[in-house]
Structure 1
């Protein structure tokens, strides 16, 4: 590595994996520089590399990312004549940012939570029919993945493969192998699950749209755009598997960590129940906007922010298109930049000397710690998560419903599980091997 590329404390440092050099950014001011430098530093190549590794054909890559579309085309507006790959991100914003489509999607999540979050629906995870020990990690994965699937694909995908969410769990836990281009010889389990999921998605998209149940606007609109440029069913399935991944991988994990931190802070359970009570009538959450309101539910908001701070292990990634100076160091063309959110979130000068501890009150004391380059749970700049608004609302809804509907008690000797910081990822960390926890779950009584 050239001496002018890395070196001084606080500046970028580098490592190599499978022949690619990654520069790691350790300072918020440098992260902000990178977010603004869209000329020399690009996110688009990373997306293309990822989706190629996921199995998208080269002809589809060319059609989606390198072929500019007409400005006057039918379908979703394209006044700048962007390729479809960029247009799809704009369509995600249209679906997921505050507005009619966002509210419709959140209503689907809530409908699924009301349906799935019942004791009788978790017997396939528990060790008893109506109550008993349950893997919180697998439970959150199960009901949240089913909710995301229903929100975007209605009931049809589940009808094609009732175990789709279970197979996705296997794939998702290993999907980092796609990002880092692990050879298939060493990624057989991930590849097998991926192939099964893609076959089910292909079957889904071969069913006429009129015969599918409750499909989200985004799903139908993107499919129409892909078919208009001649993308095959196999490639459509591959693209939507990556969509499915972005819908579910971080939300299910963030829900787990939020519940884990709450359960290991016993005083929070009743405090949060008291705070969210007015949003419920009997068993059901009838006023979700109440739990979204930071002034009405400040403790829920603080727990959400602190959970994101502690559990975010993803990195924003940029490809370097020309030599660039960041932090006084030359970052060479052809390599990649990583901005690891966890490194910034654990800075003691920003979050005090106890930054490794769960202390939601730090977000009750001041709001300035969620701004600026030190706060990156959703990435930043061009690659900032388009689904951050829906993710926040969906997670707050389901955590509120769990606290309201269930008594969840830690088993004897239970400890706060450890996240797997050693597995690279693009968002919320998973569990370290052997750290899965089993909690006792039973329905709360609402008599009187």
Structure 2
């Protein structure tokens, strides 16, 4: 039949090459018509799927290459209606949710849309064995080796995963435990931001001052501070280049989250992941009394891991997840805030007035700074809006209808922050522009359902207040100790520097940084304080 159709209908010669090629073409055309024309017409209750060319692979390459561009194409495909649509990856279909009311429902539904299924995949990606994963969800019962009623570490006898979440939350939510971390962080910043210690970000030195790289200034200072708050100096003693390895890990962490192929150990994530994991394993094996600089949460998590008797690699994997989470956003948001300030001297002047007011008798009052800096607050929120690229994910565990569309178990939902943050129906026609006073003029926007820099629902970021104190404290120290301005003649052709571009070349996990080759060069001189 195929041969007759080829020869009689279209005059295509019949041979060993043309027959299979023609057959595949017919099957492919049939698949396209069925998948993207007939089936959507027969099942209007299903989310429409953005068309793709290769069965099974779907949008996998486009998602890993430039996920923002892919999501924007999806929004165009549904006429910018914010209707739920699907994209197909090798593993499963992803339902993209961008309508604010539906986003709120999705964040608050912990039954049909569950984070635990996604957490299991993350734990495996980070290094958990099947046995370690089983033990991490085990709830102690009478007669178990881990049943210790009345113990002070885990009195509620929660599973290790729930206990870890609880410790993390208690450490990071406002209170004395968070304040301890904030103080340790600021001590690290005070130590790092000394005129004679800026080699890590100095491009050149002159008699008049230094030329600094804003990118390197933010990256090193913030990751060094976070490392000190969690582990003190312990990791540095084991691996002196731990900050460098964490930065390299962070640059490629999306490969872990999305199970990017390792290519026989040649992936850019492989070496930093191995070094950090081995460093954390050595840290865990240290006697308890020698880990005296560790954070309260780290101490308790390690103690209950020991009770549960999970393997060393799984223990290190948990710490790696926590360590990564502490370093995934602050340096990038600091970069963007400073980039906008340096490109606008009037904004810089206004913010410096606010940060200097928080220095009282030579001591920085971080609480005063955080609660009494309206201009910095507005600029911080706007930078979060424009550069927040996190994609919140949940596994569909039960059938659920959302926005008139039926979501099927086994697939996943994605809530992309950048598409929420640029919704023109909420943010206006200038949604893609930086408006320094947007959140100052319209304070309610910071609570809008389409503003999700810290996620929402059960996984609403507990460290959001601490992160703000860390960024504000870093800026206040920088402005207090140095006079900064954008270096002149360092742009193209010796002209003015161009504002850095957002790096959208890979899936975002939080605040997206600038294109690696883009930077802001700063002229810095030391202030007499």
Q: TM-score range by the shorter chain?
A: over 0.9
Residues 87 and 94, structure 2, Cα contact 8 Å, conserved in 1? yes
Pick from 100, 104, 107: which aligns with 1:35?
A: 107
CA shift, 1:133, in A, is 2.8
Whether 2:237 is the aligned partner of 1:166: answer no
CA deviation profile, 1:190-215 (whole Å, cap 9, x unmatched): 11110011111111111112112421
Partners of 1:146 and 1:285 in 2: how far apart?
21
CA deviation profile, 1:372-428 (whole Å, cap 9, x unmatched): 311100011112112111111111111121122222222332121111123212211
Q: Which residue of 1 aligns with 2:318?
A: 239
TM-score, structure 2 length as denominator? 0.80
Partners of 1:73 and 1:357 in 2: how far apart?
56
125-134 or 144-153: bigger deviation: 125-134
Whether 2:122 is the aligned partner of 1:44: answer no
Match runs of 1:256-267 below 5 Å: 256-267=335-346
Residues 96 and 387, structure 1, Cα contact 8 Å, conserved in 2? yes
Whether 2:464 is the aligned partner of 1:384: answer no
CA shift, 1:349, in A, is 2.4
CA deviation profile, 1:260-297 (whole Å, cap 9, x unmatched): 12112211111111122222257x5421111111xx31
Pick from 297, 321, 326: which aligns with 2:373?
A: 297
CA deviation profile, 1:102-151 (whole Å, cap 9, x unmatched): 11111111111111112222213313368433321222111111100100
CA shift, 1:316, in A, is 1.1
Tell me the number of residue pairs that the alignment of Structure 1 and Structure 2 aligns: 441
Residues 13 and 24, structure 1, Cα contact 8 Å, conserved in 2? yes
Q: Which residue of 1 aligns with 2:474?
A: 398
Whether 2:46 is the aligned partner of 1:5: answer yes
Residues 280 and 319, structure 2, Cα contact 8 Å, conserved in 1? yes
Q: Which residue of 1 aligns with 2:350?
A: 271
Pick from 127, 134, 140: which aligns with 1:69?
A: 140
The 3 A distance-change label for structure 1 pair 141 and 433 is closer
Pick from 277, 284, 290: which aligns with 1:211?
A: 290
Partners of 2:88 and 2:391 in 1: how far apart?
16
Residues 222 and 330, structure 2, Cα contact 8 Å, conserved in 1? yes
Q: Unaligned stretches of 5+ in structure 1?
A: none
Residues 145 and 248, structure 1, Cα contact 8 Å, conserved in 2? yes
Partners of 1:370 and 1:78 in 2: how far apart?
37
Residues 292 and 393, structure 1, Cα contact 8 Å, conserved in 2? yes
Partners of 1:441 and 1:5 in 2: how far apart?
57
CA shift, 1:62, in A, is 1.0
SS class of match (2:525) = strand
Whether 2:185 is the aligned partner of 1:84: answer no
Residues 102 and 390, structure 1, Cα contact 8 Å, conserved in 2? yes
Residues 204 and 212, structure 2, Cα contact 8 Å, conserved in 1? no
Pick from 129, 151, 165: which aligns with 1:57?
A: 129
Pick from 224, 247, 258: which aligns with 1:180?
A: 258
Whether 2:121 is the aligned partner of 1:121: answer no
Higher relative contact order (CA 8 A, sep 6+): 1
Residues 173 and 430, structure 1, Cα contact 8 Å, conserved in 2? no
Partners of 2:118 and 2:449 in 1: how far apart?
21
The 3 A distance-change label for structure 1 pair 129 and 229 is farther
Q: Which has the larger radius of gyration?
A: 2
Q: Which residue of 2 aligns with 1:418?
A: 501
How large is the Cα RMSD of the aligned pairs?
Answer: 1.9
Q: Which residue of 2 aligns with 1:145?
A: 223
CA deviation profile, 1:342-394 (whole Å, cap 9, x unmatched): 11111222222212122121111121101131110001111211211111111
Whether 2:513 is the aligned partner of 1:430: answer yes
TM-score, structure 1 length as denominator? 0.94
